[in-house]
Amino acid sequence: MAFKEAVEEVVAEHARLKLPLHIWSNGKVVAIPAEKRRKVRG
């Protein structure tokens, strides 16, 4: 539960600051622009 809340806070903060969110996907780092972010899956 705490980890999910922490992730949601990070995603929201990046969106507020209009910063890309960097994630690990398919063996590489991918930048997701703030305007393209999706709701965090739970």
Domain boundaries, the chain: 2-36
**Contact in structure between 14 and 21 (CB atoms under 8 Å):** yes
Phi, psi of 32 (to 5 degrees): -110, 115
Q: Is the pLDDT reported for residue 42 higher than 80?
A: no
Task: Name which of 6, 24, 8 is nearest 16 in CA terms.
Answer: 8
Q: State the distance between the two ends of the chain, measured CA to CA, in whole angstroms.
A: 10
Taking only the tens place, the pLDDT of each residue in 8-38 is 899 889 989 999 999 999 999 999 998 876 6
Q: Is the pLDDT reported for residue 7 higher than 80?
A: yes
Tell whether pTM > 0.85. Answer: no
